Amino acid sequence: MEKDVLSLIEAASGGFSKGQKKIAGYILTNYDKAAFMTASKLAQFTEVSESTVVRFAAELGYDGYPEMRRALADIIRSRLTSVQRIKVAKDTIDSGDILTHVLSSDIDNIRYTMDKTDSGDFSRAVDAIVGARHIYILGLRASSFLANFMGFHFNLLFNNSRVVSETPASEVFEQIVRLSEEDVLIAISFPRYSRRTIRAMQYARDVGAKIIAITDSKSSPLVAPGDITLCARSDMVSFLDTLVAPLSLVNALIVAVSEKGPGDLLYANFERLERIWEEYGVYE
């Protein structure tokens, strides 16, 4: 698993110049504020030049300051409480134009996801799903709607898929107890990450099942227990995370699986469903 930006700063601190040490000290103490500062603003707060801030990001291995700032944003999304998130949002979002802010953020997240998604990992995930004996889809809390959306469409494509959910009558582990090396577990979680999802992934690894992790970055705790990781950028908007880009990635998986899966079964399922929908008046 990749180191987060704070760990990188601590590890490299011995070689920093005087100016870089000022930046490092400020970020380590005020990372929640630094995540929303431009390079010039951070330079102002640390009393160094803007070029020093840019070189600092490069010293840590980032392509530029914006990438380091995104890494800081990833940190705060997984650490801040809901109340702290609301306070940060009030300081950073223009309340007079929330619609534009949120929609623009979603567009940026989709573009970032498109640029960063590894096509090889995506293809391996599709092959694993199509070749699995059983497909288990796990997404808890805010990620449950992604799991249910995927499960709804996989149910139309396959006879061997099921959504694992939290219910009063059934613990998560009871629903995946029959997992084996012939099965695949698709685990979905975004900050703040679900501990139960990670533990279920660890169980799946112990029994030899193939694990596909759908999460926000390579520093996510879902990466270590997973076999294949698909990253989609989410972003903090007040107390919630926008999951538009993750939903778009799920859409792509559904389409790719339908193209590669058993075509005859797909057509037969939909022909049967169309007759049922017509007979029972499902649609107007």
Residue range 229-274, pLDDT digits in tens: 999 988 765 556 789 999 999 999 999 998 887 666 677 777 888 8
For 9, the token pair is 């700063």
Rounded mean pLDDT of 208-220? 93
For 244, the token pair is 């538009």
User: What whole-number distance in Å separates Cα of residue 64 and Cα of residue 49?
Assistant: 15
The pLDDT value given to residue 238: 52
Rounded mean pLDDT of 151-180? 88
Helix axes 50-59, 65-79, angle to 10 degrees: 70
Q: What is the mean pLDDT of the chain?
A: 86
User: What whole-number distance in Å separates Cα of residue 215 and Cα of residue 65?
Assistant: 23
In this model, does residue 1 exceed pLDDT 50? Answer: no
C-alpha dist (Å) from residue 144 to 11, 147, 156, 166: 37, 5, 19, 9
User: What whole-number distance in Å separates Cα of residue 25 and Cα of residue 104?
Assistant: 32
Structural domains of the chain sorted by starting position, each given as residue range(s) with its CATH number in brackets: 1-79 (1.10.10.10), 115-279 (3.40.50.10490)
Confidence of residue 91 (pLDDT cuts 50, 70, 90): low
Rounded mean pLDDT of 175-186? 96
Most confident of 41-45, 61-65, 221-225: 221-225
User: What whole-number distance in Å separates Cα of residue 112 and Cα of residue 173?
Assistant: 34
**Closest of 203, 209, 228 to residue 218, by C-alpha:** 228
* Residues whose CB is less than 8 angstroms from the CB of residue 231 and which lie 6 or more positions away in sequence, other chains included: 113, 116, 117, 215, 216, 217, 218, 220
The pLDDT value given to residue 5: 86
The pLDDT value given to residue 171: 83
Rounded mean pLDDT of 152-168? 88
User: What whole-number distance in Å separates Cα of residue 68 and Cα of residue 234?
Assistant: 16
Per residue in 108-138, pLDDT (tens digit) is: 889 989 988 999 999 999 999 999 999 999 9
> If 0-12 CB within 10 Å is exposed, 13-18 middle and 19+ buried, where does residue 143 land?
buried
Rounded mean pLDDT of 50-70? 90
Coil vs helix vs strand at 123: helix
Spell out a b/e string for 251-267, using b for 16 or more CB atoms within 10 Å of the CB, else e. ebbbebbbeebeeeebe
The pLDDT value given to residue 4: 79
**Is the model more confident about 98 or about 2?**
98
**Is the model more confident about 261 or about 149?**
149
Per residue in 10-35, pLDDT (tens digit) is: 988 888 999 999 999 999 988 878 88
Beta pairing class for 228-231 and 235-237: unpaired
User: What whole-number distance in Å separates Cα of residue 262 and Cα of residue 247?
Assistant: 24
* In contact, 43 and 53? CB cutoff 8 Å: yes
**Is the model more confident about 166 or about 249?**
249
User: What whole-number distance in Å separates Cα of residue 193 and Cα of residue 249?
Assistant: 18
C-alpha dist (Å) from residue 40 to 5, 36, 43, 65, 152: 19, 12, 5, 10, 48
Per the DSSP assignment, residues forming a β-bridge with 214 are 188, 230
